[in-house]
Structure 1
Amino acid sequence: MYALTKPNTWFKMAVTLLVAALLFVGFWGTSHAADPTASQQATITINPGSRTITSGGDVTLPADTLNGAQQTTALALSNLGIVDASGSGAGWHVTVDAPQVSAGSKTLPAGSVQLDPVQSVSKVDTTSSATPAISTSSVAPVDTGSVTLLDAAAGDGMGSYSAALKNLTVIIPASAYAGTYTTTLTYNLSTAP
């Protein structure tokens, strides 16, 4: 008790407590400035690519021997590959046509070259937009005019797709001349109107 009765000791103790209290209040009571920030804008230019369509290589249908009656010969076709990297979102359609089957000056009748409808369409890349719609539901002659196989509405068909074709069939009439006949299927990928 003796130490606390000295005026100098009380004064030192009071000053020490006051300084401690001020430091405590100063530490907790001081408002801190907001953390500094920085921003950076990133810009990317996405240039348009192109539209492409690919089909399997040339095919040879099974040979046929004339027997006095109409016959057919058929062959399963490879998938079509369709890429729309235009970045336009305009939509597109795929058509197919072929000239009459011919062997030199001899031809098979119009309507002899028939194509089964597309069986299915799938995305090659999962980030592609919605798959195009299959346009035909029945066998169609492709040597009498253009046949639409697929339709991609505006905003759909952006990316890469595989379209499963089924059979190409050639109808051979009883009156056909013997020979090696050919035709060329042309698949056209065009912007939807």
Structure 2
Amino acid sequence: MKKSLFKKFIVTTMAFGIVATAFSTHSFASTTSTVQGGTLSGGSMTFTGLPATLNGTLVKSTANWAIGDITDARGTGEGWNLSLTLTQFKEVDGNGAYVIGGKSLATNSLKVVGVPTINKKDSTSSDITTITPVASGTALDNGSTVKVLSASLNGGMGSYTIGNLGVELTIPANAYAKTYKTDATVTINTAP
């Protein structure tokens, strides 16, 4: 009987040792996530004409210029701005070339009358209050760079749908009946 009891003791001890080993072994693991930045893109503008017919009094012509969606996927929080520079309206010939010594409209004839709206394309984008649109009444056609939209530091991160920029061209009663053109430069820049 002693022999049988001894075998039970060895089997029980081995089973206990296996169970004890299973409970005393711990494995700790960790993981990382490297979030890579993307790019700042969008903000293209589509310009439509501002036709007008002279009638002996001051005439105003309005248009809505479309602004493309803007995405800031850089993940830097540096802010950004969408800038527009327009030259003075000057006379062009039938081929769109400027007429040397031609007529022109006064600078500051084109002003903002409708500020662009801003909406999130993705609900996790920065709050739209972190993006400031250009002020109504801002003159555009004097060769100065105007910030149409400006995202603050730590703002404007994500993707946005931008509404139209409403503009109004004022043409005086003594204007010459010509075709006038302005050259536009649109840029999206890092920093507010």
SS of 2:155's partner is: coil
Q: 1:3 maps to what in 2?
A: none
Q: Which runs of 4+ in 1 moved over 6 A?
A: none
Are 2:75 and 1:78 aligned? no
Given that 1:118 and 1:163 are in contact with CA atoms closer than 8 Å, whether structure 2 keeps it comes out as no
Q: Percent identity?
A: 28
Q: TM-score, normalising length from structure 2?
A: 0.72
Give the total of aligned pairs. Answer: 179
Q: TM-score, normalised by structure 1?
A: 0.72
Amino acid at match of 1:41: T
Question: In the TM superposition, what whole-angstrom CA distance separates every residue of 1:22-52 from its partner, at most 9, and x where no partner exists?
Answer: x99x989x75634654636355461x43322
Are the counterparts in 2 of residues 100 and 113 from structure 1 also a CA contact under 8 Å? no
User: Residues of 2 paired with 1:163 and 1:45: CA distance?
Assistant: 27
Q: CA deviation at 1:103?
A: 1.5
Alignment map for 1:78-117 (pairs within 5 Å): 78-104=66-92, 105-117=102-114
Name the aligned partner's letter for residue 134 of structure 1. T
Change in Cα spacing, 1:190 to 1:59, as seen in structure 2 (3 Å) is same
Alignment gaps of 5+ in structure 2:
2-7, 93-101
Distance in 1 separating the partners of 2:146 and 2:33:
43
Higher alpha-carbon Rg: 1
Asked if the contact 1:116/1:167 (under 8 Å) is kept, the reply is yes
> What's the C-alpha RMSD, in Å, of the aligned pairs?
3.3
Q: Which residue of 1 aligns with 2:140?
A: 142
Counterparts in 2 of 1:137 and 1:115: CA distance versus 1, 3 Å: closer
How many angstroms does 1:76 deviate by? 1.8
| Equivalent residue number for residue 31 of structure 2 | 41
Give the conservation status (yes or no) of the 8 Å contact 1:71–1:172.
yes
Q: Is the 8 A contact 2:61 2:170 kept in 1?
A: yes
Unmatched 5+ residue regions in structure 1?
1-11, 13-19
Question: Match for residue 180 of structure 1?
Answer: 179
1:55 to 44, 48, 65: 44
